[in-house]
Chain A
Amino acid sequence: MTPVEIERIFRDEAGRALATLIRLVGDFDLAEEVLQEAFAVAWERWANGPAPGNPRAWLVQVGRNKAIDRVRRQIAFRGKQTELQHQMLLDSVGADSAVDTGALDDDMLRLIFTCCHPSFAIDVQVALTLRTVCGLGSAEVARAFLVSEEAMAQRLLRAKQKIRLAGIPYEVPEREDLEPRLTGVLAVVYLVFTEGYAATSGEELMRTDLAQEAIRLGRLLDALMPDRGEIKGLLALMLLHDARRASRETAGGDIVLLENQDRSRWDRHQIAEGLALVETALRLPGRPQPYAVQAAIAALHARAPDFAATDWPQIAGLYEVLLRISPSPVIELNHAAAVSMVGGPARALDLVDALQARGGLKGYELLPAVRADLLRRLGRKEAAREAYLAAQSATRLEPLRRLYARRLKELEG
């Protein structure tokens, strides 16, 4: 096998192999260490021959043996007093039930739910998920958060300590706890996606790697827990947004807004997949799920031949559904933008001003941007200029800053 092929297998299998090893050895750090050792062995063996039929099971097996070796060495080193304790660990590590496929799937869910435990701050949940479930290196995770690798390594170390010391269980939550916990997991996945789709700061608008990881997580969750409308909805939402990736910026890294995007560059294959998922999600029994409704909105955009021919009344209506089932200032702002396409910018401006008066979006940088756009369309140049300036100073993302600068220039002309 070529190094590239081997690395791809590592990338694909790291999360699941780690998930099972954590259950077998009962410790995050030990599991990570023995998995690294298993990778080292694989690296040598697979380079000189074919990969095993089931590389994941192979990696788990080798990792487990490495763990058993370590425990044996510790027994020899520490003497008899802790022997019993270690023998118990050895027995559990040695237990053979471990490697069938069903158990491996459950392990992956255990790992995801543990990383997204609500006793962690949300950014810690995201970091842990990227590191252990997605198998990103600490350096890559650090880059996603714009912090130093050292700081990120420290944060991850602390989180793993907390799992052990605070007794965060390695399990999929029970029936009554499952709903709120799954909501938390999906929030983490969506956060990874949105940071990849439109970064909050930095030079680049999109971080394709993060968006891809989020979609991968979405697919994984959908495969592990089928018949979940909220999962299918979120996956559809991510696929439909991401399908527009190629048209969302110029070669120079400038933002291209939806109305100006070259729709022939949208990924039709991904759109078809997203549309099918939305249909399924909306047809599942139960109340409509927020992600599925958002995906339905994205689907209307994806279906529209051009900006003007978009079904704006239905989009505005779907935002009203969202305002009922999961109200938030961000949804209100999006609703206002849709209303501007149905009832005109003046009506939308009333909604945005009312929202601002309530202080609901304090510090949310897109509010002045939406206001500015509405004022521009109303021909209120001076007020628009002020709003664009406010938007410009609020954003930490360079491409957005350039977009507002272009708008300001157009207003002068």
Chain B
Amino acid sequence: MQYLLLIYQNEAEYGKMDAETGKKMTEEYGVFTQSIIQSGNFKGADRLQPTHTATTVRVRDGKILTTDGPFAETREQLGGYYLIEAKDLNAALSIAARIPSARTGSIEVRPIWVYN
């Protein structure tokens, strides 16, 4: 099965991270990503620019409405994702738990909709 692992964390706190810690975090992400590429679970991943760069679009009565910022103001923001292939939810959860940001933020594990 395929799962999207959505990485949520508090952007403000993440931004306050000192250079040393930031470098370590990047390295940890590198090691984690390599490990799931090697195990064959990796399908794709991206890190996102912070939410102040976001624009939200809606179409109402045929008119395009754009607003500055993300769809919802929350304590934690979507900061990136992994798309993985895993045997079942247990396998997906244990991969999610290894994402470095799981220790400070949270990872939402969502199964991918399969069309028959």
A residues sitting closer than 8 Å to B (CB atoms) are 117, 119, 165-169, 173, 177
Q: Please, which residues of chain A bring their CB within 8 A of the CB of B89?
A: 117, 119, 166-169
10 closest Cβ pairs, A-B complex: A169-B88, A167-B88, A167-B1, A167-B89, A166-B111, A168-B89, A166-B89, A165-B111, A169-B90, A167-B111
- Least CB distance from A203 to B in Å reads 40
State in angstroms the CA–CA spacing of A166 and B89 once bound together.
6
Q: For chain B, what secondary structure do more than half of its interface residues adopt (helix, strand, loop), or is it mixed?
A: mixed
State in angstroms the CA–CA spacing of A177 and B109 once bound together.
19
24 pairs, A vs B, C-beta closer than 8 Å: A117-B89, A119-B89, A119-B93, A165-B111, A166-B89, A166-B109, A166-B111, A167-B1, A167-B3, A167-B86, A167-B87, A167-B88, A167-B89, A167-B92, A167-B111, A168-B88, A168-B89, A168-B90, A169-B87, A169-B88, A169-B89, A169-B90, A173-B90, A177-B90
Task: Name, among B90, B92, B93, B111, the residue most crowded by chain A CB atoms within 10 Å (CB to CB).
Answer: B90
Supplied contacts A167-B88, A167-B89, A167-B111, 5 more A-B pairs, CB within 8 Å: A166-B109, A167-B92, A168-B88, A169-B89, A169-B90
How many residues of chain B are within 8 Å of chain A by beta carbon?
Answer: 11
Q: For chain A, what secondary structure do more than half of its interface residues adopt (helix, strand, loop), or is it mixed?
A: loop
- Least CB distance from B116 to A in Å reads 8
Considering only residues 4-21 of chain B, those with a C-beta below 8 Å from chain A are none
Q: Please, which residues of chain B bring their CB within 8 A of the CB of A165?
A: 111
Q: Please, which residues of chain B bring their CB within 8 A of the CB of A167?
A: 1, 3, 86-89, 92, 111
- Least CB distance from A177 to B in Å reads 7
Q: Please, which residues of chain B bring their CB within 8 A of the CB of A169?
A: 87-90
- The residue in chain B whose Cβ has the minimal distance to the Cβ of A119 is B89
Binary A-proximity of B71-97 (CB < 8 A = 1, otherwise 0): 000000000000000111110110000
Q: Please, which residues of chain A bring their CB within 8 A of the CB of B86?
A: 167
State in angstroms the CA–CA spacing of A173 and B91 once bound together.
11
- Least CB distance from A113 to B in Å reads 10
Q: Please, which residues of chain B bring their CB within 8 A of the CB of A173?
A: 90
Q: Please, which residues of chain A bring their CB within 8 A of the CB of B1?
A: 167
State in angstroms the CA–CA spacing of A166 and B87 once bound together.
11
State in angstroms the CA–CA spacing of A177 and B1 once bound together.
21
State in angstroms the CA–CA spacing of A248 and B86 once bound together.
52
State in angstroms the CA–CA spacing of A270 and B86 once bound together.
47
State in angstroms the CA–CA spacing of A117 and B90 once bound together.
10
Q: Please, which residues of chain A bring their CB within 8 A of the CB of B92?
A: 167
